[in-house]
């Protein structure tokens, strides 16, 4: 696969170089190839609608196939979404007893609301299951594919739109981030939908279209907190360009921004609560104060270090649930296309600004600068924080490929053929070998909820040390898997929950290593009537010593990889 990656990337780069060479010599497009291409294009136009339906069907199938099985386990934030949604449906509050919060506390640092509320709707309609938890993100990918087509039909024409929608179905990042239910990743789809509506408004005019675009950008604010900065920056850059080009009236600008501000008002209030400007509000709709407010993460001082790490946008294989080697986020062959497309769109944008005329390249550059620039403000590279940048990156890929088509005619067909070959290999790997090669996946519980449920059925009144997910040096976040496995009432949970790392517990559940120091000696508290679940991949002297102490006890040890389970009578009969 590595060889094919190199070949496809090299061939793509050569095609782009050849196209630029032809343009530089002003020899135009290869005439024979163009005529053949035009004949084929005429035939292709007749199959345009069936081709689009086929692409949408492919997006739907790949989104739903083995949805609850791959990736294996439940993501730590996905578990939070699932339990909060369950609580909303059954109790009208989230896990911390807030009624319908505009922003969820989750594990303390917050979580955007749209995914949890849509999951609650799915649970109400289809019952509680991991399928209901992951369904919204899967469905959103189909909507995203259709929005990509709509966007590029406006800005580049029908043929480019079909190619773009095909790419959004074939590129790994547009698929993998829709395979599990967390906040953050939906921002990509929401941003593309809003871009499509904005470009439609700019092309067709009409205050209603601008208002609809404003509502779409406002809805996007509820998909990920970084959008609070990214979307205003994007709209500011865009409006400045449009004012320069005299392509937007005051009424149109107001029609775009007022619906956005209306939808943003609750989030502004939430920010004021967490800045200490307003007291916490508990009512029919709640505005909670986060115990670990993350607003201070944004700083211009982070730009140099995050910039140096941002090359990982094209790779990111350190987080296997977002990208995997050797396919990465966009396939390696996309890199020269992104570079070519960025150059072409930047050139057109400069010309448009100088000539004071509307060109959609201004939208592409504004989207890139806003997404990439605001992502750099957050310390440490994280693909979630930069997820919206893949919308303009897709735009640049299409522009680069379109340039090859216009200069080289039929030679362009190598590009979609290579993408299809790479996607066939990627999907084949993902649906057959991905789980085995990446199990257990970091930040996923790997079956802890099912294990908890099984243990509680056999040992309902035993204390259980549930050490399944390690966050830093503690296991406090394991509580969410116990809540999810037992579907505990949030009122019962809050009645006994202790959050301190060295004493994290609720009910009969413990989420800390049972160790204490007496006279300088470390004592491991191993009790013969308790249950212990220990995550085996965890390394370190403390956990190894605990396992050694457990092995010396009379408890029955059984392995449910990646866990070691110690219990009085075993899991057996």
Conformation bin of residue 299: beta by default, left when phi > 0, alpha when psi is -120 to 50: beta
Among 176, 86, 85, which residue's Cα sits nearest to residue 137?
Answer: 176
Residuewise pLDDT in 10s, the chain (573 residues): 667 777 788 888 887 887 787 776 655 444 444 444 455 455 556 678 888 999 999 999 999 999 999 999 899 999 999 999 999 999 999 999 999 999 999 988 889 999 999 999 999 999 999 999 999 999 999 999 999 999 999 999 999 999 999 999 999 999 999 999 988 899 999 999 999 999 999 998 889 999 999 999 999 999 999 999 999 999 999 999 998 888 888 999 999 999 999 999 999 999 999 998 999 999 899 999 998 776 667 788 888 888 888 888 898 767 788 889 889 999 999 999 999 999 999 999 999 888 888 889 999 999 999 999 998 888 777 788 889 999 999 999 999 999 998 888 887 888 999 999 999 999 999 999 999 988 888 888 888 999 999 999 999 999 999 998 876 667 888 999 999 999 999 999 999 999 887 889 999 999 988 887 777 778 888 888 999 999 888 767 788 888 889 999 999 999 888 899 999 988 875
Query: CA 567, CA 570: separation in Å to the nearest integer?
Result: 5
Query: CA 466, CA 60: separation in Å to the nearest integer?
Result: 37
Contact indicator for 220, 227 with CB cutoff of 8 Å: yes
**pTM here?**
0.92
Among 490, 538, 486, which residue's Cα sits nearest to residue 509?
Answer: 486
Among 52, 401, 10, which residue's Cα sits nearest to residue 393?
Answer: 401
What residues are paired with 518 via a beta bridge? 521
**What 3-state DSSP class applies to 84?**
helix
Contact indicator for 400, 199 with CB cutoff of 8 Å: no
Q: Alpha-carbon dihedral of residues 174, 176, 178, 183, nearest 10 degrees?
A: -100
Angle at 527 between CA 530 and CA 562, to 5 degrees: 55
HSE, side-chain direction, 13 A CA sphere, residue 83:
29
Residues 6+ positions from 477 with CB-CB distance below 8 Å = 76, 107, 469, 471, 511
Q: How does strand 464-467 pair with strand 509-510? A: parallel
Contact indicator for 512, 468 with CB cutoff of 8 Å: no
Contact indicator for 334, 444 with CB cutoff of 8 Å: no
């Amino acid at each position: 696969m590595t060889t094919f990656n190199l070949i496809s990337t090299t061939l793509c780069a050569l095609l782009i170089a050849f196209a630029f060479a032809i343009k530089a010599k002003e020899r135009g497009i290869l005439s024979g190839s163009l005529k053949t291409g035009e004949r084929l294009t005429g035939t292709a136009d007749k199959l345009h609608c069936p081709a689009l339906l086929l692409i949408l069907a492919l997006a739907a199938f790949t989104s739903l196939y083995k949805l609850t099985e791959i990736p294996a386990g439940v993501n730590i934030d996905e578990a939070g979404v699932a339990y909060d949604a369950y609580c909303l449906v059954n109790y009208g509050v989230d896990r911390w007893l807030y009624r319908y919060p505009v922003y969820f506390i989750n594990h303390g640092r917050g979580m955007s609301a749209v995914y949890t509320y849509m999951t609650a709707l799915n649970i109400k309609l289809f019952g509680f299951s991991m399928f209901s938890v992951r369904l919204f993100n899967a469905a959103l990918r189909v909507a995203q594919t259709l929005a990509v087509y709509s966007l590029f039909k406006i800005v580049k024409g029908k043929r480019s739109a079909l190619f773009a929608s095909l790419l959004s179905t074939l590129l790994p990042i547009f698929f993998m981030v829709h395979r599990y239910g967390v906040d953050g990743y939906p921002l990509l789809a929401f941003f593309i939908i809003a871009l499509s509506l904005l470009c439609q408004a700019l092309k067709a005019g009409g205050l209603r279209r601008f208002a609809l675009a404003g509502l779409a950008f406002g809805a996007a604010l509820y998909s990920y907190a970084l959008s609070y900065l990214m979307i205003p920056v994007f709209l500011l850059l865009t409006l400045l360009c449009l004012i320069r080009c005299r392509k937007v009236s005051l009424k149109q600008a107001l029609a775009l921004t007022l619906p956005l501000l209306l939808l943003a008002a609750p989030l502004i209030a939430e920010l004021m609560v967490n800045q200490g400007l307003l007291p916490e509000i508990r009512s029919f709709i709640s505005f909670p104060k986060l115990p670990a407010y993350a607003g201070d993460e944004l700083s211009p001082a982070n730009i140099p270090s995050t910039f140096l790490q941002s090359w990982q946008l094209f790779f990111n294989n350190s987080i296997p649930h977002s990208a995997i080697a050797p396919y990465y986020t966009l396939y390696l062959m996309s890199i020269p296309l992104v570079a070519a497309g960025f150059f072409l769109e930047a050139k057109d944008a400069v010309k448009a600004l100088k000539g004071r005329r509307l060109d959609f390249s201004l939208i592409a550059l504004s989207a890139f600068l806003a997404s990439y620039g605001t992502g750099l403000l957050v310390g440490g590279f994280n693909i979630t924080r930069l997820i919206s940048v893949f919308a303009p990156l897709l735009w640049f890929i299409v522009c680069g490929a379109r340039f090859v088509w216009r200069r080289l005619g039929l030679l362009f067909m190598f590009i979609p053929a290579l993408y299809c070959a790479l996607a066939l290999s990627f999907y084949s790997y993902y649906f057959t070998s991905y789980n085995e090669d990446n199990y257990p996946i970091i930040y996923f519980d790997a079956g802890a909820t099912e294990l908890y449920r099984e243990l509680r059925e056999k040992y309902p009144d035993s204390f259980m040390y549930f050490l399944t997910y390690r966050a830093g040096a503690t296991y406090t976040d394991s509580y969410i898997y116990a809540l999810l496995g037992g579907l505990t009432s949030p009122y019962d949970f809050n009645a006994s929950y202790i959050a301190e790392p060295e004493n994290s517990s609720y009910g009969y559940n413990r989420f800390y290593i049972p160790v204490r120091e007496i006279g300088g000696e470390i004592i491991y508290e191993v009790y013969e009537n308790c249950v212990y679940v220990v995550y085996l991949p965890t390394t370190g002297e403390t956990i190894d010593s605990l396992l050694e102490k457990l092995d010396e006890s009379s408890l029955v040890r059984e392995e449910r990889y990646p866990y070691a389970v110690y219990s009085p009578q075993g899991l057996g009969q």
